Chains A and B, each alone.
Chain A
Amino acid sequence: GAVVSQHPSRVICKSGTSVKIECRSLDFQATTMFWYRQFPKQSLMLMATSNEGSKATYEQGVEKDKFLINHASLTLSTLTVTSAHPEDSSFYICSARVPPTGPSTIYFGEGSWLTVV
């Protein structure tokens, strides 16, 4: 079964509105989660590292004010796409390391398809 859960799986929003995507770790605490973006038929690009209790670390070229990341608890990280535009339409997916310490495996959520109309 899934160890990392993402919601919603699909969302359509109007241009100019904001949309929130949730990433939850199931049955374990994730001090660090990662957010990726994937354009059609392309690879996954890391957007940011979400750190529980502190600010996210963004990759070069990712707009911090547009993609707000909040990691308020050890089991939940959220990505909010603010003032969304059609070019933000993409597949967003999060990941977490399981278990949080030691040699481990990285699992991904189910992903979220965002369509901005």
Chain B
Amino acid sequence: AQKVTQAQTEISVVEKEDVTLDCVYETRDTTYYLFWYKQPPSGELVFLIRRNSFDEQNEISGRYSWNFQKSTSSFNFTITASQVVDSAVYFCALISNFGNEKLTFGTGTRLTIIP
């Protein structure tokens, strides 16, 4: 069984503030992949990042950064200098059996950036 927990249901921050979205996962497999997706109001799911379980290097892409900690089973996402366009629902997801290809999603975090 696998599970993804996004404890933060909604977050609001003022523009230009930094914000971290938490993601905690559970899986018995040693090989797994973690994903983050952004879902703006229009509904489409925008792929942000994929990380495999053997790569614990943190990653930075512009204002986005991800902190993968296997010891705590967490894959947190930080947006620095937030902008109004960052307002969306963000989903963390997991595949623990890659041949299975079934994504397990967290419940999502609704992020609102206040101008």
A interface with B by C-beta (< 8 Å): 32, 34, 41-44, 46, 49, 91, 93, 95, 97, 103, 105-111, 113
Q: What total of chain B residues lie within 8 Å of the partner, measured CB to CB?
A: 19
A110 and B91 contacting across the interface, CB-CB below 8 Å: no
* Shortest beta-carbon distance from B112 to chain A in Å: 13
B interface with A by C-beta (< 8 Å): 35, 37, 42-45, 47, 50, 52, 91, 95, 101-103, 105-108, 110
* Interface SS of chain A: strand
A44 and B50 contacting across the interface, CB-CB below 8 Å: no
User: Contacts of A107 on B, CB cut-off 8 Å?
Assistant: 47
Q: A43-B91, A44-B105 are in contact. Are A93 and B47 (CB under 8 A)?
A: no
CA of A109 to CA of B35, assembled, Å: 16
* Shortest beta-carbon distance from B102 to chain A in Å: 6
